[in-house]
Structure 1
Amino acid sequence: MDNFYNSPLLARYLKSQKTDCFGTLRVNREFVPEAIKSLAKTEMRVGELVQTFSRDVSIVLWRDTNIVAMISTFHEGEVGGKEKYGRYKYKPQAVLDYNISMGGVDRKDQLLSAHPIERID
């Protein structure tokens, strides 16, 4: 799910309805723990990971170029990796899975952010 829609309350509700979800998260949402909200980019090193868990929802903060916040109802804090340009880079499993399942709309938004021009017929 996209960060526009995602929140801890929605993730917990979906889990109670036997539906797992994961996606990016805006940390200024209601019910996001203060420990996560208060972290700044300068307080984390590149590759550093901060996680918080409740009984059915986990929130992961990971610093790459910027801080990436993910929420998941089925990832348990695993760390995976991927080789790119001959170097192995460790990432949270939620980030790796999100990148694999990123749909066409997300990809379009990502590409248009660099070139904000759409064709109108």
Structure 2
Amino acid sequence: MDLLAPYRQTNIRVSMDNFYTGVPLLRRLHSEGICAVGTIRTNRKHLPKELLPKIAPLAKHNYKVAQAGELTFSVWMDTKAVCVLSTHHCSGQTGTVTRRSGHVEQQRVVVPATLADYQQNMKGVDLCDQLLGYYMPGHS
């Protein structure tokens, strides 16, 4: 929290992966004027049950969104279910992402805004992690 202290009450948006994303953290950040979005595991402690829509019948590239107070939970079916929790988005907002179908063909797919925003902001982090993995000594 000290890292974000200079940004309190600025409505800055923080993106994080599922290691950090949790309901208490997102609520605390929201109370301090910091918006957050991140992937989350459905078995995460403190995740309200009303935010967990039934994900079993989702077809590929379909999604469901639920909202409880300041929290918006989205689940989108790609190869597997991708779950995102946000305090920045509303349940009706959408965006688009590019997905590959086959070897070369790309298509634009409508997704919840939570997922489009998360993907846009995390691209650089994922690339950095990938590049670091190539050069980390002692790791296989």
Question: How large is the Cα RMSD of the aligned pairs?
Answer: 2.6
TM-score of the superposition, structure 2-length normalised?
0.68
Please, which runs of 5 or more residues in structure 1 have no aligned partner? none
The AA in structure 2 aligned to 1:43 is P
Any stretches of 5+ residues in structure 2 without a counterpart?
Answer: 1-15, 100-104
Counterpart of 2:127 (choices 79, 83, 107) is 107
Q: Following TM superposition, by how much is the alpha carbon of 1:26 offset from its aligned partner in structure 2, in angstroms?
A: 1.3
Instruction: Note if 1:64 corresponds to 2:84.
Output: no
**Is 2:96–2:110's contact at 8 Å kept on the other side of the alignment?**
yes
State the 1:73 CA deviation.
0.4
- 1:3 matched residue in structure 2: 18
Deviation of 1:37 (Å)? 5.2
Aligned residue in 1 for 2:137: 120
Q: Does 1:87 align with 2:107?
A: yes
Distance in structure 2 (CA, Å) of the matches to 1:7 and 1:106: 20
Measured in 2, the distance between the counterparts of 1:64 and 1:100 equals 16
Give 1 or 2 for the bigger CA radius of gyration: 2
The sequence identity of aligned pairs, in percent, is: 28
Q: The residue matched to 1:43 in structure 2 has which SS? A: coil
Shift of 1:108: 3.9
Report SS of the residue matched to 2:19.
Answer: coil
Q: Distance in 2 between matches of 1:55 and 1:35?
A: 11
- Which residue of structure 2 lines up, in the alignment, with residue 97 of structure 1? 117
Q: Distance in 2 between matches of 1:96 and 1:64?
A: 13
What is the aligned partner in structure 2 of residue 46 from structure 1? 60
What's the secondary structure of 2:74's corresponding residue?
A: strand
SS in 2 for 1:74: coil
Task: Report the TM-score, using the length of structure 1 for normalisation.
Answer: 0.77
